[in-house]
Amino acid sequence: MKELTLRGLIIGIVITLVFTAANVYFGLKAGLTFSTSIPAAVISMAILRNFRNATVQENNIVQTVASAAGTLSSIIFVLPGLIMIGWWTEFPFWISFLICALGGILGVMYSIPLRRALVTNSDLPYPEGVACAEVLKVGSRSGKEQAADVEHGRAGLLAVLWGSIVSAAFAIIVSTHVFGSDVAQTFRIGRRGGVSGYDFALSFALLAIGHLVGLSVGIAMLMGAVIGWGWGVPHYSAITGDLTTAAATLAQSTWSTKVRFIGAGTIGVAAIWTLAKLVKPVVQGLAGAMAASRTRKAGQADTLPITERDIPIGIVALVTLACMVPIAWVLGYFANTSGLGAHLTTLVIGGVAYVILMSFFVSAVCGYMAGLIGSSNSPLSGVGILVVIGAAVLLVLGVKPYVSPEASKALMAFALFTTAVIFNVAAIANNNLQDLKTGQLVDATPWKQQVALIVGVIAGAFVIPPVLDLVNHAYGFVGAPGVDPLRALPAPQAGLISALAQGVIAANIDWSLIAIGAWIGVAVIVLDEILARTTKGMRVPPLAVGLGIYLPTASTLMIVVGAIVGWIFDRRADRTPKPEATRQLGVLLASGLIVGESIIGVVISAIVVFSGVAAPLALVGAGFDTAALFIGGLAFAIIAFLLYRWILRMGARRTQAT
């Protein structure tokens, strides 16, 4: 059975390079990354279908390699923080590469003992992993069933292709300013000067992410947005009594300095709750890994089912230890170059110990959440908040008393740097468990997937630094010194995480805001547990509520719309002869919408850099803004309606034909 092949690795690497670049840009713009497994699987099938001996397991290897693009790029939630605090002016290639590569490899290693706890012996749904497995099964049968699957595979490829074309074309027209980019308004509430607002970004990628994460997550994010902008922003802006500052400026300031920290508290409590629920299954998973190791040593490896053959736990331990040597060097190098060389031993030993312990913690939390709500809505940034606060607190206790006040910025940078390494561990562990669920459903060999993901990690690590540099020079990041805030990319998580590092080390963080968020998190956890016991399918994921509080409405509201649209589409799909196949076409359309807009975003970034013009594709001036908003909003709604109607009709035709 062909599985881990050279051609599969090459195809996966090429897809990884393209999708990683797309994810970096989209994540910086919207605060979310998307899972690349499903579109990679469709592309892989289209290519490998031309080879007689291609197998579903070989297609699985391709999507496993390419899936690294979906989560390794999550480093953008931390690394731009070093630009924002003014420590870096660009991204050093080899240092950035090592952070991504070493953290990613550690993530693969940590996910191996977690696999049994979170995949094999768990009833977590893994929505994207299951959807990807269904895609991979296309063409794996014979006779009439194979013909039907091939036809469905062509329909799926068309869905991805046209979704990509439409979203890319719309993004290009938006960059000409003929279409508006978002429907937004800020307004005052009451006599005390409170403000609020909303922002529906006209983004097909955000609409598609809403479709993928589902109605429960969409409602949870809406709850968070209502808490943030229905209570938080009006309340804290009214306290200032500021009646002179423009409403939009006051709203943005209040949200970024007050409300986001409430969201941080909510996310932190939700992450800790998740870990507490994982203690028992993680212990069972480690026991299972040790039992498999004993079976191998007894010469009975062939008796293990294919789906239980991981990289041996002894090799996992050796690779983990081997990764710690270059990690220690990187931390030491950063400490030396930041003027903290006098405390090199403390920083390196403490940093490595923190990486080892926190990496496993965040791997377990993120892996669980990937199983619950999918990688596209992974709470990586929320876990990053806990990690950076922990790193900053340890530096305050262990190093700050022994350095001059001028070294505070260096301590902030070291906290962010350490967090970046741990963040990549979490990102890849989160992703690998999703892949391993897919592999379990298509009878793949886990150790071959784990090797494939390491290949994808290294490929993606080569792309991330130059793309980050590209968008940094083209737009910059909000909050970075000397950057035009009207052009800069929001990079919301990086801004929040760097602000937390600054607040803890400078001792000016408002812990009361985080405490309020924590109590909100407790309330949401109680609500979620009540719903779990009293309803069949309705949940309110606490981490999604936290994300809704601290992400801008430009990122959340269109996701909510997409979740509702996806729910309506699925209900309509249930009326077709083959509901599951039609719903799958909707998933593929959503994947295409994300890919097209993201890739064209990277292309436009390159045009901005090389042209030196802020809006090189603009065809109209500011006087056209009102008309552009109306035209763009109407066009967005019509195109979305036509796309989903087309997919429903195509699904009905395909199923009737078979």
pLDDT class of 354 with cuts at 50, 70, 90: very high
- Encode pLDDT of 356-384 as tens digits: 888 877 777 777 766 765 665 555 666 77
How is residue 552 written in tokens?
């801008």
Q: Is 507 helix (H, G, I), strand (E, B) or coil?
A: coil
Whether 276 is in a domain gets the answer yes
Which 8-state DSSP code applies to residue 477?
B
Nearest to 31, CA basis, from 547, 587, 603: 547
Q: What is the pLDDT of residue 142?
A: 42
Whether 63 is in a domain gets the answer yes
Q: What is the pLDDT of residue 144?
A: 43
Task: For residues 212 and 320, give the distance between their C-alpha atoms in angstroms, rounded to a whole number.
Answer: 34
Q: Which position has the token pair 């599951």?
A: 580
pLDDT at 150 over 50: no
Return the axis-axis angle of helices 344-373 and 380-398, rounded to nearest 10°. Answer: 160
Whether 197 is in a domain gets the answer yes
**Averaged pLDDT, 418-447:** 81
Task: For residues 538 and 566, give the distance between their C-alpha atoms in angstroms, rounded to a whole number.
Answer: 16
Q: What is the pLDDT of residue 525?
A: 92
Whether 12 is in a domain gets the answer yes
Secondary structure tally for the chain: helices H, strands E? 23, 2
pLDDT class of 353 with cuts at 50, 70, 90: very high
Q: What is the pLDDT of residue 516?
A: 94
- Encode pLDDT of 50-63 as tens digits: 777 777 888 888 88
Lowest mean pLDDT of 291-300, 353-362, 528-537, name the range: 291-300
Lowest mean pLDDT of 112-126, 310-324, 631-645, name the range: 112-126
Q: Is 176 helix (H, G, I), strand (E, B) or coil?
A: coil
Q: What is the pLDDT of residue 429?
A: 74
Query: What percentage of the chain exceeds 70 in pLDDT?
Result: 83
**Averaged pLDDT, 166-178:** 90
**Averaged pLDDT, 97-117:** 83
**Averaged pLDDT, 534-559:** 82
Most confident of 72-76, 469-473, 512-516, 551-555: 512-516
How is residue 504 written in tokens?
């803890």
How is residue 441 written in tokens?
């459903």
How is residue 65 written in tokens?
């390699």
Domain that holds residue 508: 6-657
Whole-structure pTM over 0.85, yes or no? no
Whether 567 is in a domain gets the answer yes
Whether 589 is in a domain gets the answer yes
Q: What is the pLDDT of residue 170?
A: 93
Q: What is the pLDDT of residue 375?
A: 60
Q: Which amino acid is at 542?
A: P
**Averaged pLDDT, 524-548:** 85
How is residue 494 written in tokens?
């990086």
- Encode pLDDT of 220-238 as tens digits: 989 999 999 999 999 898 8
Q: Which amino acid is at 503?
A: G
The number of folded domains in the chain is 1
User: Which is more confidently placed, 474 or 70?
Assistant: 474
CA R_g for the chain: 24
Q: List the Cα angle 533/537/543 in 5-degree steps.
A: 85
Whether 1 is in a domain gets the answer no
